[in-house]
Structure 1
Amino acid sequence: MIDGFDVAGFVAATLAEDLGERGDVTSTACIPADGRLTAVLSSRDAVTVAGLPLAAAFFRALDPVCTVEPLVKEGDSVTAGTALLRVAGNARALLSAERSALNTLQHLTGIATLTAAYVAAIAGTGATLLDTRKTIPGMRRLAKYAVRMGGGTNHRVGLFDGLLIKDNHIAAAGGVTAAVSAARAANSGLPVQVEVDTLDQIEPALAAGADRLLLDNMSPPLLARAVALVAGRVPTEASGGVNLTTIRAIAETGVTFISVGRLTQSAPAADIGMDYGSG
């Protein structure tokens, strides 16, 4: 369903956290064992949808023969009040899965919705929006999936699939030249990206063999000067101080990429509810 992510394990662990040893005591007390339920998950706001397959997996985990019908596609942008998914099956099971399904769907849709807003803000500039590693532990693959559903592009998944020399690496290695030279000598097979904080670090980084530059916490005027200095020799990425108010000006400096931590770090959950007998 999502490359590199154990959906079954995630669903099982999430349900176990909610059900504990006694299960859903409310549903068991109030609803007959053979009771049936038909419900629809709907968005209260305009959103970009992500996570419907995960929501379905929660319902099917507790009622393997339930009927789940997606009413929109992943990545669709929908208006407030749109029905997203219809589910029918054993009432106790579906109500026991409801909160876990909604929590996941709300979180991922929130990320996708915020990402879509950032993508729209830089439309036509040629810049590409990237996410970062600023994610809830254990949910990185899901968060990055949601970014893709919102139209963004994934940066490295973890420390294993991208070589990024940051300021602390530079300090520990003894400078930009030393850090980049050592990274090139390691022959990892990965492109060498280097974070630079000042204009005077650009030429040493490029001379040492940097394949890409991360221009960190630079104002738009400074970014424009940095892009001019690089002069297309390598791709450039702007990071730090990026929000919906600032991103357009950052994109218009000519940077290749813009990375935004808040996409996955602080996206508000979407307002999605499950209503009995709706739709």
Structure 2
Amino acid sequence: MIEPIPDLLILPTIRQALAEDLGRAGDVTAQACVPAETELACTFGARRGGVIAGLACARLALAELDPDAEFRALVSDGDQVAAGTVLAEVRGKARAILSAERTALNLLGRLCGIATLTQDYVDAVAGTRARITDTRKTTPGLRHLEKYAVRCGGGINHRFGLDDAILIKDNHVAACGSVGEAVRRAKAFAGHLMKVEVEVDSLHQLHEALSQDPDVIMLDNFSLQDMAEAVQIVGGRVVLEASGGVTLESVRAIAETGVDVISVGALTHSAKVLDIGLDAA
């Protein structure tokens, strides 16, 4: 079971998206063509197979415009579905359904696409110790939803923002003078609950980082040979994360080096929207 995001955290995104779409005058097409009292029954259907994520977005978009509307989900977030699967049935005021349609489909299709791509990566490393994680390369304003979609696809979440973990990257190192000095300062700053991760781009930097005992070391764009050597050097003392240009074609070989985590920016910045439609029943 996927732990859902509380409606309270989703509603601001839904309201902003609806306001953007409705503009100053509302849905003038629906107002012009559809009498206010007209009722409509529709179904959300998957036109391509994939993993479901974001049903609450569709439900809340409709509820914002018609609080009395009925929304009956026939699948759950995290479910793998085939093309042609009916995801949910809705019934309510026709104007509300038509006005909420694009917001619901934009978010639902986007999140299902992320969940589906994540599942592809997770399947590709099955049988290894590696776990697939996301990055902060998310759509501004949608990070909480996109990271939720990653979980629906079987992945795990990296840090949510700049405030929940320390991640020292190359420019931080440049500002500090060395990897070792950057980690030393970070560990002196961090509280007992905050983890420290450092990015390294060579085996030399790996040794330097290890001397300061970080929690996680990110191997940035390492060759497979150097990655495997890094696993041997570390010997399980810290978590090793592989990062940089990971693709579906390369992820299995990376996992087989023995790293613990593989971060994939493509999960959120390059996922193809899952084709979902809303059709009158």
The TM-score, its normalising length taken from structure 2, stands at: 0.96
Residue 253 of structure 2 is matched in structure 1 by 249
Report the CA distance shift for 1:145/1:99 in structure 2 as closer, same or farther (over 3 A).
same
SS in 2 for 1:34: coil
Residue 107 of structure 1 is matched in structure 2 by 110
Deviations 1:49-95 (A, max 9, x none): 00001110000100100110001011000001100011000001110
Deviations 1:243-276 (A, max 9, x none): 1000000000000000000101111111000011
**One-letter code of the match for 1:224?**
A
Report the Cα distance in structure 1 between the residues aligned to 2:36 and 2:23, rounded to whole angstroms. Answer: 19
**One-letter code of the match for 1:197?**
D
Could you tell me whether the CA contact under 8 Å between 1:4 and 1:141 is conserved in 2?
no
SS in 1 for 2:53: coil
Deviations 1:197-244 (A, max 9, x none): 000111111111212110000121221111111111111000002010
Q: Is 1:272 matched with 2:256?
A: no
Q: Is 1:178 matched with 2:168?
A: no
Report the CA distance shift for 1:249/1:57 in structure 2 as closer, same or farther (over 3 A).
same
**Which of 93, 97, 101 is 1:94 aligned to?**
97
SS in 1 for 2:279: strand
Residue 132 of structure 1 is matched in structure 2 by 135
Report the Cα distance in structure 2 between the residues aligned to 1:180 and 1:167, rounded to whole angstroms. Answer: 12
**Which of 217, 221, 227 is 1:223 aligned to?**
227
**One-letter code of the match for 2:114?**
I
1:4 Cα shift?
9.9
**One-letter code of the match for 2:199?**
E
**Which of 62, 70, 90 is 2:73 aligned to?**
70
Runs of 4+ in 1 over 6 A off after TM superposition: none
**One-letter code of the match for 1:116?**
Q
Residue 208 of structure 2 is matched in structure 1 by 204
SS in 1 for 2:19: helix
SS in 2 for 1:11: helix
Percent of aligned pairs with the same residue? 53
Report the Cα distance in structure 1 between the residues aligned to 2:191 and 2:207, rounded to whole angstroms. Answer: 23
Question: For the aligned residues, what is the CA RMSD?
Answer: 1.2
Report the Cα distance in structure 1 between the residues aligned to 2:63 and 2:76, rounded to whole angstroms. Answer: 19
**One-letter code of the match for 1:250?**
I
Residue 59 of structure 1 is matched in structure 2 by 62
Could you tell me whether the CA contact under 8 Å between 2:50 and 2:80 is conserved in 1?
yes
SS in 1 for 2:218: strand
